[in-house]
Amino acid sequence: MFSKPVDLVGAAAFLAFMAALPLVFQSNYLIGVLTVSVIYGIWAVTWDFMSGLTGRENFGHSLFIGVGAYTAGFMNTSFGMPGWWSLPAAMVMAVLFALLIGLPTLRLKGPYFALAMLSGAVIMQRLMLIFWEHTGGEEGINGLTPLIRNQLGFYYFALATLAAITVLLLALARSHWGLILRAIRGDEATCQAAGINVTFYKIASLMISAAFAGAGGAMYAHYQLQVSPQLFAVVTSITIITMVYVGGMASIYGPVGGAILLVLLTELLRNFGEWRLMVYSCVLIAILFFVPGGLVAPTWRRIKAARGWGP
């Protein structure tokens, strides 16, 4: 996709739009919502890179997010390291966990893989609660220092990170990497017979997905200034999958739109009071039912096709 100038223009326009929004609306609240949505975007993009391409749906993505966030939490509060050390540390820990859970579950697919990853996340959540003396239990770790004090500054940092990660993963997806991952989804046995090191690609894609998700987790921790076990929850993983779905599976850039859309939706519906989540769920059903291919990526593709801008 990124070889085409029209996509470049589209992406730049989107980025400019996102950067301009807080300047137009001048609201700390909106900046906060957008920052959180951008971080969810990072998580959604990383999910799509692994699960969207290989077709092995990961129902435990929250594992890497939580690991990254808790690493940031411990490093910042227990070890007193400044926030910028959290990001690489979170990535390292997340990759370690990816290896830990990824290697034994290599041969699993479909619901089996989904459940195995989900189990991993649930175990970590439970452990955080069981060892509450060290992890703060359900109150989590509080009192982290912010990465960038200025709200707008942090938002731009998060946006830039999202853009960088998306570009990187898109490039990988368009390269022979992506080709192989998609081939693995198609027919793994044939790939193996063709001499491709399927194991390497599966594990590597999980590690890459985990690394950036963990980085996102650390950023989240330093923005919310707290870490809680709810990050490991099933609900978190499912929320991210929903975002990818609404954005358009396997498109890499679609989930960005999906994440921003759904986070904005949950927030902007606050004026419905008690009915907020009900309206949200109904809108979700409508989207899932009427537009099963996703909203963001297919829409962009159709716009391009209609205008004749190329595939």
- 17 binds another protein, rule: CB under 8 A: no
- 203 binds another protein, rule: CB under 8 A: no
Pairing, β 141-142 against β 226-227: antiparallel
Q: Which two tokens stand for residue 212?
A: 């950036």
Binding mask 140-159 for another protein (x = CB under 8 A): x-xx----------------
- For residues 37 and 264, give the distance between their C-alpha atoms in angstroms, rounded to a whole number: 7
Q: Which residue among 2, 10, 81, 119 contacts another protein (CB under 8 A)?
A: 119
Q: Which residue among 17, 84, 132, 200 contacts another protein (CB under 8 A)?
A: 132
Contact window for another protein (CB under 8 A) among 82-90, 173-181, 204-212, 286-294: 286-294
Q: State in angstroms the smallest separation of the CB of 261 from another protein.
A: 8
- 79 binds another protein, rule: CB under 8 A: no
Q: State in angstroms the smallest separation of the CB of 133 from another protein.
A: 8
| DSSP secondary structure, 185-241, as one string | HH-HHHHHHTT--HHHHHHHHHHHHHHHHHHHHHHHHHHHTEE-GGGGSHHHHHHHH
User: Which residue's structure tokens are 């955080």?
Assistant: 128
Q: State in angstroms the smallest separation of the CB of 135 from another protein.
A: 10
Considering beta carbons, is residue 27 or 175 the nearer one to another protein?
27
User: Which residue's structure tokens are 């009427």?
Assistant: 290
The number of beta carbons lying within 10 Å of the beta carbon of residue 16 is: 10
Considering beta carbons, is residue 94 or 297 the nearer one to another protein?
297
Degrees to nearest 5, angle at CA 129 with 126 and 135: 125
Contact window for another protein (CB under 8 A) among 69-77, 79-87, 123-131, 198-206: 123-131
Q: Which residue among 24, 80, 290, 311 contacts another protein (CB under 8 A)?
A: 290
Q: Which two tokens stand for residue 210?
A: 């985990």
Binding mask 266-285 for another protein (x = CB under 8 A): -xxxxxxxxxxxxx-xxxxx
Residue 143: exposure state from Cβ atoms within 10 A (0-12, 13-18, ≥19)? exposed
Q: State in angstroms the smallest separation of the CB of 127 from another protein.
A: 7
Q: State in angstroms the smallest separation of the CB of 207 from another protein.
A: 18
Site size toward another protein (CB under 8 A) is: 82
- 241 binds another protein, rule: CB under 8 A: yes
User: Which residue's structure tokens are 């960088």?
Assistant: 164
Contacts of residue 110, Cβ cutoff 8 Å, sequence gap at least 6: 56, 57
- 130 binds another protein, rule: CB under 8 A: yes
Considering beta carbons, is residue 29 or 84 the nearer one to another protein?
29
- 245 binds another protein, rule: CB under 8 A: yes
Q: For residue 145, give the DSSP letter.
A: P
Binding mask 23-62 for another protein (x = CB under 8 A): ----xxxx-xx--x--------------------x-----
- For residues 91 and 83, give the distance between their C-alpha atoms in angstroms, rounded to a whole number: 14
- How large is the angle between the packed helices 28-47 and 198-224, nearest 10 degrees? 170
- For residues 181 and 186, give the distance between their C-alpha atoms in angstroms, rounded to a whole number: 9
Q: Which two tokens stand for residue 239?
A: 């929320």
Q: Which residue among 160, 164, 179, 305 contacts another protein (CB under 8 A)?
A: 305
Considering beta carbons, is residue 212 or 220 the nearer one to another protein?
220
